[in-house]
């Protein structure tokens, strides 16, 4: 298996820029976490399992909604 080249590695200047911005990024993440806690949202142990189930249910609903109406097609044929 051969890997595709995606581009040059970040330059030392790029890395220095990221390092310089990191405290601001951390502060923004901390603020977001505080807002989430203030809203009373707490993660539950089975959160991801529930999220996958909801996503699967929504996907099935879309498939059913977009499925051609086979009964009406048989009536026409």
6 inside domain: no
3 inside domain: no
User: For the whole prediction, is pTM greater than 0.85?
Assistant: no
List the beta strands (DSSP E) in the chain. Answer: none
- pLDDT for position 61: 81
7 inside domain: no
Distance CA 62, CA 56 (A): 10
* Count of structural domains, the chain: 1
Residue 57: pLDDT above 80? yes
For the CA atoms of 9, 18, 32, 53, the dihedral, rounded to the nearest 10 degrees, stands at 0
Distance CA 11, CA 22 (A): 17
1 inside domain: no
Name the residue range of residue 42's domain.
Answer: 12-76
- pLDDT for position 68: 62
CA distances from 24 to 43, 59, 77 (A): 25, 38, 65
Read off the pLDDT of residues 15-45 as tens digits, 9 standing for 90 and up. 888 889 889 989 998 898 888 778 887 666 6
58 inside domain: yes
Distance CA 48, CA 33 (A): 18
- pLDDT for position 70: 52
């Amino acid at each position: 298996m051969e890997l595709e080249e995606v581009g040059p590695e970040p330059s030392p200047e790029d890395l220095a820029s990221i390092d310089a911005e990191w405290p601001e990024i951390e502060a923004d993440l901390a603020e977001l976490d505080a807002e989430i806690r203030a809203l009373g949202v707490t993660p539950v142990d089975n959160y991801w399992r529930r999220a996958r189930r909801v996503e699967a249910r929504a996907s099935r609903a879309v498939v059913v909604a977009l499925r051609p109406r086979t009964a009406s097609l048989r009536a026409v044929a």
